[in-house]
Chains A and B, each alone.
Chain A
């Protein structure tokens, strides 16, 4: 990593990737092991979110109330998300300074952040009045927008995530 880098805390990322744990992961079968678990976690995160998004768009599962679909899927979403974060952090550590500069990785983080904001907004604002449209075939515009945004953001996360490995 050169001196005039635009990434903040360059020393920190260099320190992270010099950790014994980072080097251990990077030079052993742990990296592909973590990466394969990451694909599994990502598949479950995006899969469970996909079901909720399509319900919010009024496209599928109209016999299941929207609030119940959200509640039943979110446990799997969070569980798988924790798996993806742990395995993702493990891989990130091995070449932290390079990943943090990788445009695909930066885009992925930005999309994740937006997906989180969208999810929080939906959870704390839109879902408040859910009683009125819980079983309605067409959820209100705000819920449909949240579903569509989430769908696009998570597809973007997958594309950006897969692109990370092609740039590094």
Chain B
């Protein structure tokens, strides 16, 4: 599957545009990467803080459903920013990413982490205080928070390792 995506992107106008932008806009690669890291910082201060709050590790005085409503919309904007800045590099050199298993591992962490964030946000939005109403709900929120924290660490570490492992899979240009 990923071979097809890589083949489809290779030589496409989208790839040519991304390569042109990265090569010709002064400072674009570090600017896009810095924005990507800023996006990570925003996820850390929104969804990750909510998880830490559920586990009793941060912001003990703040109400958890108020935190969810206040902070988690920031996560969606950060994810949008990171999708755009990340796609720039993926589209420019698709083989480098789609043949790199670490890129796959990053998304195997990212997809469930975002799913957990959406579940926590949607239920709390529909019914404020949802996660605190019963012991079972609180426990499930805590389990999801603990799993999700590990997943987010995996996303960040995986993201950084993509660039260090791609020489092992030099199937690209």
Contacts and interface: CB of A to CB of B under 8 A. Distances in A.
A76 B58 contact: yes
Interface centre among B33, B45, B48, B159 (most CB of A within 10 A): B45
A73 B45 CA distance: 10
A40 B38 contact: no
B66 interface: yes
A60 B70 contact: yes
A68 interface: yes
Interface in A145-168: 155, 158-159, 161-163, 165-166
A47 B160 contact: no
B129 to A, nearest CB: 15
Tell me what chain B mostly uses at the interface: helix, strand, loop, or mixed: helix
A73 B57 CA distance: 11
B30 A46 contact: no
Given A32-B161, A42-B37, A159 B44 contact: no
Interface in B1-59: 29-31, 33-34, 37-38, 40-46, 48-49, 52, 58-59
Given A61-B70, A72-B58, A72-B59, A42 B41 contact: yes
A50 to B, nearest CB: 5
Contacts of A39: 37, 40, 156, 159-160
B87 interface: no
Interface string B150-171: 0001001101110010000000
B61 interface: yes
Interface residues of B, number: 31
B60 interface: yes
A3 to B, nearest CB: 31
A101 interface: no
A46 B38 contact: yes
The number of chain A residues touching the other chain, given as a range, is: 20 to 34
A68 B171 CA distance: 53
Contact of B31 (A43, A63, A73, A159): A159
Nearest to A50: B45
Contacts of A159: 30-31, 34
Contacts of A60: 70
Contacts of B160: 32, 35-36, 39
A50 B42 contact: yes
Nearest to B53: A72
B10 to A, nearest CB: 25
Given A39-B37, A47-B49, A159-B30, 19 more contacts: A43-B37, A43-B44, A43-B156, A46-B38, A46-B41, A46-B44, A47-B41, A47-B46, A50-B41, A64-B61, A64-B62, A72-B61, A73-B59, A155-B38, A158-B34, A158-B38, A159-B34, A162-B30, A165-B30
25 contacts: A32-B160, A43-B40, A44-B44, A45-B41, A46-B38, A47-B45, A47-B46, A48-B45, A50-B41, A51-B49, A61-B70, A63-B66, A64-B61, A64-B62, A68-B61, A73-B58, A73-B59, A75-B58, A76-B58, A155-B38, A158-B38, A158-B41, A159-B30, A161-B34, A166-B29
